Amino acid sequence: MAMRIEARDIRVAFGDVEILHGLDFTAGAGEITAIIGPNGSGKTTLMKALIGENPYSGHVTINGVDIATLQPWQFATKRAVLPQATNLSFPFTVREIVRLGLTTGISGDADGRLEDLPDLALEQVDLSGFAGRFYGELSGGEQQRVQLARVLCQVWEPVFDGEPRWLFLDEPVSSLDIQHQLLIMRLARKYAENGGGVIAVMHDLNLTAMFADNVHIISHGNIAASGTPKKVLSTKILSDVFGCNLQVSAKPPKGVVFVLPQSTIAP
Amino acid sequence: MNVGIKNASGQLVKTPKRKTLDGDRGAIARLTILILVVALLIAMFASLTTGSSDASAVNVIQHWLGLSGDAEISMRDRIIIYDIRLPRLLLGSLVGASLAVSGAIMQGLFRNPLADPGLIGVSAGAGLGAVSIIVLGGTALAPITALLGIYTLPLSAFFGALASTMLLYKIATRNGQTSIATMLLAGIALGALAGSLTGIFVYMADDAQLRDLTFWGLGSLAGSSWEKLLAAGPIIIVALIATPFLSRGLNGLALGEATANHLGIPVQRFKNIAIVTVAAATGASVAVSGGIGFVGIVLPHMLRLVIGPDHRYLLPASALLGAIMLLFADAVSRTIVAPAELPIGIITAVAGAPFFLWILLRKRGMLDI
């Protein structure tokens, strides 16, 4: 069984407008696969096809199984999804939200300690002590991390039943400060290192360069380039795709102040 | 970073330390449900022993135990208690539970604390079904009445509720996605349409039917009988039994339809089941008690403030509180103008409407859909 996400000839159209023009996509377990591209290029549309949220034509398989043949609960045991934003209809506490990720028969067994997972997951996203707060009272970045804790509860073990499980993250760090951006990306890295797969729609090209194993650049509904960050994050490709002059450099250019995540230059 | 994620060899890397149960309202919810169970038993007993007659359940119990010598008085009490109060209290409990649970389910389904079967035309559809049978049951629809017997009224109300809900659904659903805003607005329009069709039947009704219709429309438990209980009870009980199975889906929907699906809930099928459940509960209730309003909006809202919105607790608690409050309202309706009776719908409306407006004022932002 192929332990990866594979999509072949994916087309998505809204009405008469075709958004994705028959693209192919592969992501391997044990890796972070980043999807980048300009606004409106079809990144999120592609992700929504991969998670079965949007109608599409073509084929998507997860661990060798066509997702169209999976019941919702079966699919839910294999992948969890962090959406860009979540609108809540009722006043839940943080713990209640995180617990919604836990479902007997879906979440796995966590050595019979399912009930401990919400606390553990909150600790992972640096929200210990927030369990009793009301979700609506948190900042956008905190809410995003609460949702990530919920997602982690759903697929806590990166490998379950001999199969890798998958995290789909739609702009997971967009509303986070730099400390928590790094925290979340390291969490994703850890998940991949432990055998799971991570597919993330990203806007931050520097974080993508730091953390992704593979990058798919989407442009006008097609894959413009695929490969390792080193290969595809080039001055030429990025300048073409994003329509502006970018400079990709291994060294800071002279005379311009910019901030690097400190950990990368730590001893 | 020390992580607690399981590593490749299946070990949790770090032992979790569980410090508190912060944010877990489960214990409060379970306690609340326990209190409500006890309160319902008390309310049922009180409802059995009080009324405009001095008949006392205690007398009947004494009679059973052979402690009462006066058999004749006990016999009169027995009739009042067994044939009048007991069916009424059972019907009142079931209708109250059904109205409150229907409201809670609708609110979860539409992700809006103001949704209610009364609001989106389900009750109006049920009413149309019921009124058409009341007016035409003796003439044009006589074969149906003959065929279904006592189940005619609740079933026609159920089909009225189901038809209006399904029509609504067809209007509001595109590509398997239900638009909440369209559904609420279309519900208001369909409710008005059902209301005007009901008006035509009322226009056609003769004097006796008119009196039935008026009293029925105000909402009342006055005509409760074993026959009505037998007719509506089974439908309501089936709907109530179905509700615990809806709680996980409703919890998932609180995060949105897409996320509910990611959590493994078959969203569209789930919504269909929830809607049939609400139509059954509402239809049967409307058939036997007419328009008793505001129970479905006010009670789940009050409960959410105490036990939170987790439907695993909210649904049973709503059912219990609905039963209790309807028994209470019924007691008021039977005694406030004794020996006459005020329709119970007036009491729930007088108590519920200001509360509804209060919620509305506090939640103005929620209406921007």
- Is the pLDDT at A29 greater than 90? The verdict is yes
In tens, the pLDDT along B174-229 reads 765 566 677 778 888 988 999 899 889 888 888 888 877 876 777 778 778 888 88
B4 occurs within a structural domain: no
3-state secondary structure chain A: CCCEEEEEEEEEEECCEEEEEEEEEEEECCCEEEEECCCCCCHHHHHHHHCCCCCCEEEEEECCEEHHHCCHHHHHHHEEEECCCCCCCCCCEHHHHHHCCCCCCCCCCHHHCHHHHHHHHHHHCCCCCCCCCEHHHCCHHHHHHHHHHHHHHHCCCCEECCEECEEEEECCCCCCCHHHHHHHHHHHHHHHHCCCEEEEECCCHHHHHHHCCEEEEEECCEEEEEECHHHHCCHHHHHHHHCCCCCCCCCCCCCCCCCCCHHHHCC
Which residue from B19, B262, B267 is facing A80, i.e. has the nearest CB?
Answer: B262
Q: Which long-range contacts (CB under 8 A, 24 or more apart) does B48-51 make?
A: B48/B81, B48/B85, B48/B86, B48/B89, B50/B331, B50/B335, B51/B80, B51/B84, B51/B85, B51/B334, B51/B335
Q: CB neighbours (10 Å) of residue A62?
A: 27
- Please list, in sequence order, all residues whose beta carbon lies within 8 angstroms of the beta carbon of residue B4, skipping any fewer than 6 positions away: A120, A123, A124, B12, B13, B14, B15, B16
| Number of Cβ pairs < 8 A linking chain A and chain B | 128
- The Cα B149–Cα B141 span in angstroms is 12
Pick left, alpha or beta for residue A105 (phi over 0 → left; psi -120 to 50 → alpha; otherwise beta). Answer: left
B30 occurs within a structural domain: no
The CATH class that applies to domain A4-265 reads alpha beta
**What are residue A80's DSSP bridge partners?**
A167
Asked if B4's CB is within 8 angstroms of A100's CB, the reply is no
- For the record, the structure tokens of B13 come out as 């890397």
Q: Which residues of A touch B1 (CB under 8 A)?
A: 183, 186, 190
Which has more pLDDT, B364 or A5?
A5
Tokens 């438990």 found at: B221
Q: Which residues of A touch B256 (CB under 8 A)?
A: 83, 86-87
Domain carrying residue B203: 40-47+87-363
Domain spans of chain A, in order of start:
4-265
Q: Which residues of B touch A194 (CB under 8 A)?
A: 5-8
Minimal-distance CA residue of chain B relative to A149: B5
Percentage, residues of chain B above pLDDT 90: 31
Least confident of A50-54, A105-109, A177-181, B246-250: A105-109
Is A70 in CB contact (< 8 Å) with chain B? no
Asked if B16's CB is within 8 angstroms of A116's CB, the reply is yes
- Is the pLDDT at A5 greater than 60? The verdict is yes
- Is the pLDDT at B68 greater than 70? The verdict is no
B202-237 burial, b at 16+ Cβ within 10 Å, e below that, comes to beebeeebeeebebbbbbbbbebeeebbebbbebbe
In tens, the pLDDT along A123-138 reads 999 999 899 999 989 9
Minimal-distance CA residue of chain A relative to B300: A90
Q: CB neighbours (10 Å) of residue B90?
A: 17
What is the overall mean pLDDT for chain B?
A: 82
User: Would you say the pTM of this structure is higher than 0.80?
Assistant: yes
Q: Considering just the CA atoms, what is the radius of gyration of chain B in Å?
A: 23
B122 occurs within a structural domain: yes
Is A113 in CB contact (< 8 Å) with chain B? yes
What is the overall mean pLDDT for chain A?
A: 90
Query: Which of A67, A77, A96 is best to mutate for the B interface (most B CBs within 10 A)?
Result: A96
Sign of torsion, CA B240 B245 B247 B252? negative
- CB distance B350 to B358 below 8 Å: no
B94 occurs within a structural domain: yes
Is A123 in CB contact (< 8 Å) with chain B? yes
Total tally of structural domains belonging to chain B:
1
Query: Which of A77, A99, A100, A148 is best to mutate for the B interface (most B CBs within 10 A)?
Result: A100
Q: Which residues of B touch A76 (CB under 8 A)?
A: 262-264
How far B277 CA lies from chain A's nearest CA (Å)?
Answer: 21
- CB distance B87 to B228 below 8 Å: yes
- CB distance B348 to B125 below 8 Å: no
- Is the pLDDT at A149 greater than 90? The verdict is yes
CATH number, domain containing residue B209: 1.10.3470.10
- The Cα A162–Cα B228 span in angstroms is 57
C-alpha dihedral, B152 to B153 to B154 to B159, nearest 10°: 80
- Is the pLDDT at A177 greater than 50? The verdict is yes
Is A242 in CB contact (< 8 Å) with chain B? no
> Interface pTM (ipTM) of the complex?
0.90
B324 occurs within a structural domain: yes
Query: Which of B2, B6, B13, B20 is best to mutate for the A interface (most A CBs within 10 A)?
Result: B6
- For the record, the structure tokens of A258 come out as 């910019």
B345 occurs within a structural domain: yes
How far B172 CA lies from chain A's nearest CA (Å)?
Answer: 18
Q: What's B309's DSSP letter?
A: S
Question: Residue A19: what are its φ and ψ, rounded to 5°?
Answer: -95, -45
Residue B8: the pLDDT is 45
Asked if B111's CB is within 8 angstroms of A89's CB, the reply is yes
- The Cα B123–Cα B280 span in angstroms is 11
- CB distance B326 to B145 below 8 Å: no
